[in-house]
Structure 1
């Protein structure tokens, strides 16, 4: 568990820098600081969420749940994310800002950086488990250190199957045994911290998705050809 990142996110003072453009919900770049240490974070307040017919208010909790799920698996795909009550615009999520070249995204990484394919396929597996409804290409980043990240998980964990993603290039490929071992405990139940952020039906649905993966042993296939988000990037 990242010490400095979580310390700053949970204990640092939060200063608004500006709104991040082209977001469906109000999303802000902030600076978190504590003593002589400071860094950037992404702040998503509940007050800035657009009403949805299929998700209750409180998408910030799903951002936190996605981080906790990734962390519990030992995959480190989601940047450190916390819930802050005393943030400038009220309760919301704070996620560590990833320094990267924003001209890169899933499509460019898949085409130009084959060394990232293992991590990209693992994100595809994670998205099926989390039932990600909105994996756009731009929600996949490669940090300046070369590490691959997935961001923007507010539309995850629905009890109804809603998977929409651009990551179908690995469909039908065998899931490595090591990853099957990682996810196997989820067939019995979600980590307590994750379950506390979801409702019972959502946790049960997560277990069932994992059970299906364990039986199939391959990455999911979209037989409809329609499980894509919009816009794609």
Structure 2
């Protein structure tokens, strides 16, 4: 299945609204006809700009940040953000459409305690959040997808509050504070010091692009994960 093609071109049907989301978040099903009478099918999460609540520190259009986070994750070769596209779906208008991660309800806190084999993936996600300046990494935004063919994979969802030019890191993943960032992750980040991929840059403001380069430089120069430093280092609610 080509997930991006399915998200971008598939026929969308509304399944229901995610009740406890702070912004309008809609579960949809997506079907794409293939040659030979076959079909590709998946669920998706649609977040329209029309359903965003007002924020003092982020401009409307959080879908841009959802898409930028996916593009950067893929450019780094980390695949920590589920496939995400930008679509207009009437009557709700433009927004981000992200592949729905089928999971058993597990999230970061219990997974960290019970799955030490996943700690390298959690650390990589912590580095990604440091790089994109994630202000809202709740435990429930860390999901485990189980696949018999591909194995278990950790995803980070809900990247709408990322890339701000001011330091705003708020996350529950502080368990790796002071730990060194693996060399392969540092090497992946290093090119960002000089240039941000065009597809990411065009979704952000010039100030946010410059701040992304600065955070990449920090990771290269000081390759360790920080401890909480701000007045509000944790998102709320935690899950």
Partner residue of 1:186 out of 180, 184, 192: 192
Match of 2:62 in 1: 59
* Alignment of 1:82 onto 2:79: no
Distance 2:209 2:73 in 1: 15
Structure 2: 5+ residue stretches without partners = 34-38
**Aligned match of 1:123 in 125, 140, 144?**
125
- Partners of 2:157 and 2:140 in 1: how far apart? 9
SS of aligned partner of 2:187: helix
Map 1:1-233 to 2 at 5 A.
Answer: 4-35=2-33, 36-102=39-105, 104-145=106-147, 146-224=152-230, 226-233=232-239
Q: Where do 5+ consecutive residues of structure 1 fail to align?
A: none
Aligned residues: CA RMSD? 1.1
- Cα deviation code 1:158-190 (max 9, x no counterpart): 011111000000011011111110000011121
Contact preservation (8 Å) 1:187, 1:211: yes
Q: Are 1:164 and 1:228, in contact at CA under 8 Å, matched by a contact in 2?
A: yes
What's the TM-score, normalizing by structure 1? Answer: 0.96
Matched length: 230
TM-score by length of 2: 0.94
Following TM superposition, by how much is the alpha carbon of 1:222 offset from its aligned partner in structure 2, in angstroms?
Answer: 1.4
SS in 1 for 2:93: coil
Alpha-carbon distance in structure 1 between the residues aligned to 2:109 and 2:139? 6
